[in-house]
Structure 1
Amino acid sequence: MSEFDWYLQVNLKARHLRLLVTIDTYRNLTQVADVTHVTVPAVSKSLAELERGLGLTLFSRTGQGLMPTPYGECLIRHAKSMLTILHQARDELKALSSGTEGKINIGMLPASASVLLPHALGILKQRSPGTNAMVSEGTTALLLPELWQGHLDLVVGRLPPPDTLGSFEELELLEEPVVLVTGRHHPLARKKSLTWDDLRSYPWILPPPGSILRDPLERALEAHEVPLTNNYIETLSVHVARAHLQVSEFIAVMAGSPASDVTQPLHILPLSLPRLLRPTGVLWNRNRGLTPSARLMVSCLEEAAQQLQAGPGAVPSPVAHPVKTKRS
């Protein structure tokens, strides 16, 4: 074993990993010393020992502070992953020692998982009250990097295009059509027959640029020669969209479950859209695998999807099965 291999496998400690990530965050030894509650010479000595042990220069000193070299960037990236794994192990051990059954960090794409995920969380709490969940809302662009880095266990929502999945495993859960909706008081809701031309003069609630639905929606409207007016609101929040539709003459686009919510009913316009999006599903990082709590959550999502697909009057089977699993 070379000296380099020996140092990496035997002498590299968690404190070295934390030091690297902290220096990368602040790029200033004085600030690093402040947040780690040690002296500047102690920080400098620890970094020098690490570089000497590896035989590599990890940071270069510049006018902008300490900047990572290519060696530093490589090791920092892996340090963040290793620290995430250690934190997850700590959380699982704490949960076991305190009598709880685990914790799941879930990312939710709000426009497509606002019905499925709450339903699945209800099933989770019935099955395992001691399993807790942290839910964060965000866009695909925000949540997928968090999933890749290990900060999230699962991402639930409309599945992104297959060519963007990389090392993620996906499970399709719910096929829901995308529909155009208005409030029930809307002039278009009272028309006996409707054409695409009837939409031209009304304002829109749109998904933001860069979201999964925006580009396909614009292409579909262009195909029917419906220009988007300059009067619009952009949001991923189903709650904001539903509330505004109740008091305005806006048109919005929604998936089937949010559009059919009986607690705040909307009118679905009788105009057929092509299949704009992939099904709603769940993603996880296949390189990290699933914790027992995350596997339980996937099972609850499957059962919730079966119940939603069956409809409110149906009696679902006690155990759900995947619709389709895909490797990318």
Structure 2
Amino acid sequence: MSELDWYLQINLKARHLHLLVAIDTYRNLTQVADVTHVTVPAVSKSLAELERGLGLTLFSRTTQGLVPTPYGDCLIRHARAMLTILHQARDELKALSSGAEGKVHIGMLAASASVLLPQALSLLKQRSPGTNVVVIEGTTGSLLPELWQGRLDLVVGRLPPPDTLGSFEERELLEDPVTLVTGRHHPLARRKTLKWADLHPFPWILPPPGSILRDPLERALEAHDVPLSSNYIETLSIHVVRAHLQVSDFIAVMADTPANDPAQPLHTLPLSLPRLLRPTGVLWNRNRGLTPSAQLMVTCLEEAAQRLAAKRQTAR
């Protein structure tokens, strides 16, 4: 066993992980000493012992404070991940000791999971009332880093391109084609037949640039010679889209399942779009696997997706 292996496996302690994260956060030994409730010499000594034990320089001392070296960046990244795992273990142990059955942290891509996830949560609570759930809404760009760091157990929504998924496992749940929608009062909603050119006069609600739908949507519209109006709103909030379509003549693009929500019905325009996106699915971190609670959540998602697909087939 090399000296580095020996130190990492035998001598590296949780306090070292906390120290690394604190130094990376504050870059100043005095502030680190304040938040860790020790003296500055004690912080300096602990860092020196850590660097000596590893045989690596983790921080450069500069006029701007302590700056991580490449070795420091590497160890800090893993320290954050290990602390997250320890916190999850603490939460699970507390839940078990209190009679609860676990906790699942879920990231939701609202535009594609706003119907599927609530139905899956209902199934979960029927089967395991003691399993608690935290749901965070966001974008692919904001949620995948949280999933990689271990702060989320699952991300549910439209699956991103396969080339972005090196660290993640995925499971396809539901084919949910994208449709063009308006409010039921919209002038185009009263038309029995439509041509693509009929869309020209109307403003749009668009997914923001950089979202997984924006580029494929623009290409599809360009293929039909439909220019995007200079009058538009950009949002990923399905609630904003629904509310605005009810009181305006805007056109929006939406997955078929939320578009047909009977609680707030919209009109689907009879114009066929190509398959713009991958199916709705669930992602998790390949390196961490699934806790029993997260595995149960995946099972409930699969069942909810099957029910939605069967309901859609019946409606046709």
After TM superposition, the score normalised by the length of structure 1 is: 0.93
Where do residues 131-280 of structure 1 align in structure 2 (5 Å cutoff)? 131-280=131-280
Matched letter for residue 266 of structure 2: L
Matched letter for residue 31 of structure 2: Q
Matched letter for residue 191 of structure 2: K
Partner of 1:24: 24
- 1:201-244 deviation line (CA, Å, top 9, x unaligned): 11101111111111000000000011111111111111110000
Counterparts in 2 of 1:313 and 1:77: CA distance versus 1, 3 Å: closer
Deviation at 1:148, TM superposition (A): 1.1
For the residues of structure 2 that align with 1:302 and 1:189, how far apart are their CA atoms?
34
Deviation at 1:192, TM superposition (A): 2.2
2:281 counterpart of 1:281: yes
For the residues of structure 1 that align with 2:192 and 2:102, how far apart are their CA atoms?
54
For the residues of structure 1 that align with 2:3 and 2:222, how far apart are their CA atoms?
63
In the alignment, structure 1 segments of 5+ residues that lack a partner are: 315-328
2:28 counterpart of 1:13: no
For the residues of structure 1 that align with 2:180 and 2:169, how far apart are their CA atoms?
31
Deviation at 1:155, TM superposition (A): 0.4
For the residues of structure 2 that align with 1:269 and 1:209, how far apart are their CA atoms?
23
In the alignment, structure 2 segments of 5+ residues that lack a partner are: none
Deviation at 1:313, TM superposition (A): 10
Deviation at 1:2, TM superposition (A): 3.7
After TM superposition, the score normalised by the length of structure 2 is: 0.97
Partner of 2:96: 96
Structure 1 runs of 4+ aligned residues shifted over 6 Å read none
Deviation at 1:257, TM superposition (A): 1.0
Deviation at 1:250, TM superposition (A): 0.3
**Bigger shift: residues 37-46 or 152-161:** 37-46
Aligned residues between the structures: 314
2:120 counterpart of 1:120: yes
Matched letter for residue 100 of structure 2: T
Deviation at 1:198, TM superposition (A): 0.7
For the residues of structure 2 that align with 1:225 and 1:5, how far apart are their CA atoms?
62
- 1:120-172 deviation line (CA, Å, top 9, x unaligned): 00110001000001111111111111111111110000011111111211111
**RMSD of aligned Cα (Å):** 1.3
Counterparts in 2 of 1:85 and 1:276: CA distance versus 1, 3 Å: same
Partner of 1:292: 292
Give the % identical residues. 83
Matched letter for residue 263 of structure 1: A
For the residues of structure 1 that align with 2:293 and 2:3, how far apart are their CA atoms?
40
Matched letter for residue 72 of structure 2: G
